[in-house]
Amino acid sequence: MIRWVRLSSVRLPLGTPVSDAKVLTGRQRPMSEVALLFAEIATDDGHEGIGFSYSKRAGGPGQFAHAKEVAPDLIGEDPSDIGRLWTKLVWSGASVGRSGLATQALAAFDIALWDMKAKRAGLPLAKLLGAHRDSVRCYNTSGGFLHTPVEELVENASASVAGGIGGVKIKVGHPDRGEDLRRLTAVREQLGDGVPLMADANQQWDRPTARRMGRAMEDFGLVWLEEPLDAYDAQGHAALAACLDTPVATGEMLASVAEHWELIRAGAADVIQPDAPRIGGITQFLKLAALAEHQHLQLAPHFAMEIHLHLAAAYPYEPWVEHFDWLDPLFEERVEIGDGRMRVPRRPGLGITLTEQARTWTREMCEIGRRP
């Protein structure tokens, strides 16, 4: 039975504030840190699990506060009953809904319970779920933000490929549309036609602009064009996907399985990009993955590669995982990368351990129950 839960609100500083199209349109400020919510859970027979959720720019304190309120409902429960516990926690905070911040707070618990379950079985999480592969194609995003000068952009892209990463994604959505094309041209010329290349507009185009830019980008042979429109514009994404040869990718900003289902039902995405911490954890991700598989969609989970590597390895169709090195200071372990792929760790569970540095970045912490 669960006897102890520890919650930690951690602020991870970024070395350089990053900007994408949302910053250039004035909708957001540059991002200088990531707020993370860690949940550590222990049982009376000595088993433990760790999970996390996160937010960018705002929401970290809210996630921590909600998790702190509902965490006591886990004490005395069987940690194997993960689906039932997810539902119990949702109903504990039912008045604040079943998506967004409320379920993002629950994701940390859910992921910790799956981590514990895999550890109890002595298996990596991917193997517990039923892996289709031991490694997954990976691409880098963190070197391609709009604040990065084009010379550095090209250098970052080359370094990623030289470091064993399989593809490169760069941000687009610059007020000068020609600048987007110049940056794409520079990267494509540097990498050649054989390296997979993606572009991400971060929801900042309207429908006419997305059509024009999508057509202008066709010759780059992109693996996908990401978030060309508002995340909730399912009809607009569907119309765009129908008129472009370039696959359309979206989904990372959605906060529930139900919201993703609207995209899937509308035919709005060739590539679905769910984020397990954003949609409520692994339990919800698995439901969404089943829907995506039924529609024969490609899968490319957003961010949090430490979690998504396992989930992508268990998806039937060959997926992609997004490589971000931002979270490296938080964990003792490193994901192994080579030959364009990210390898599933052989360690049980998620295979992650918090560093002492992560403890020093903790802003708030609370414990419920007593650690065995």
- End-to-end Cα separation, the chain, in angstroms: 11
Give me the pLDDT at residue 24, please. Answer: 63
Strand partners, 35: 11, 55
Give me the pLDDT at residue 141, please. Answer: 86
Binding residues: 20-22, 56-57, 169, 200, 202, 226, 252, 322
Candidates 68, 237, 260, 302; catalytic one: 302
Give me the pLDDT at residue 32, please. Answer: 67
> Which amino acid is located at 28 in the chain?
Q
Which residue pairs, CB below 8 angstroms and at least 24 apart, start in 160-164?
160/323, 161/191, 161/195, 163/337, 164/337, 164/338, 164/339, 164/340, 164/341
Give me the pLDDT at residue 98, please. Answer: 78
Q: 225 φ, ψ to 5°? A: -110, 120
Binding residues for substrate: 20-22, 56-57, 169, 202, 322
Q: Which residues of the chain have pLDDT under 70?
A: 17-25, 28, 31-32
Question: In b/e form, how buried is each residue of 22-31, taking b as 16+ CB within 10 angstroms?
Answer: bbbeeebeeb
> Which amino acid is located at 31 in the chain?
M
Query: What's the distance, CA 312 to chain centroid?
Result: 11
Candidates 117, 119, 127, 171; catalytic one: 171
271 in Cβ contact with 196 (< 8 Å): no
Strand partners, 162: none
Whole-angstrom distance, CA of residue 272 vs CA of residue 251: 6
Strand partners, 40: 6, 50
> pTM of the prediction?
0.94
Binding residues for Mg(2+): 200, 226, 252
193 in Cβ contact with 225 (< 8 Å): no
Torsion of CA 143, 146, 149, 153, to 10 degrees: 30
Whole-angstrom distance, CA of residue 148 vs CA of residue 132: 37
Whole-angstrom distance, CA of residue 47 vs CA of residue 78: 12
- Give tens-digit pLDDT for 19-58: 666 666 677 677 667 899 999 999 999 999 999 999 887 7
Whole-angstrom distance, CA of residue 28 vs CA of residue 22: 6
- Residue 171: active-site member: yes
β-bridge pairing 135-140 and 341-343: antiparallel
Whole-angstrom distance, CA of residue 355 vs CA of residue 325: 15
Whole-angstrom distance, CA of residue 252 vs CA of residue 202: 10
228 in Cβ contact with 213 (< 8 Å): yes
Whole-angstrom distance, CA of residue 148 vs CA of residue 62: 31
- Residue 302: active-site member: yes
> Which residue ranges form the domains of the chain, and what is each CATH number?
2-122+356-369 (3.30.390.10), 126-343 (3.20.20.120)
Strand partners, 365: 8
Place of tokens 């039902």: 265
How would you write the chain as a 3-class SS string? CEEEEEEEEEEEEEEEEECCHHHHCCCCCCEEEEEEEEEEEEECCCCEEEEEEEEECCCHHHHHHHHHHHHHHHCCCCCCCHHHHHHHHHHHCHHHCCCCHHHHHHHHHHHHHHHHHHHHHCCEHHHHHCCCCCEEEEEECCCCCCCCCHHHHHHHHHHHHHCCCCEEEEECCCCCHHHHHHHHHHHHHHHCCCCCEEEECCCCCCHHHHHHHHHHCHHHCCCCEECCCCCCCHHHHHHHHHHCCCCEEECCCCCCHHHHHHHHHHCCCCEECCCHHHHCCHHHHHHHHHHHHHCCCEECCCCCHHHHHHHHHCCCCCCEEEECCCCHHHECCCCCEECCEEECCCCCECCCCECHHHHHCEEEEEEEECCC
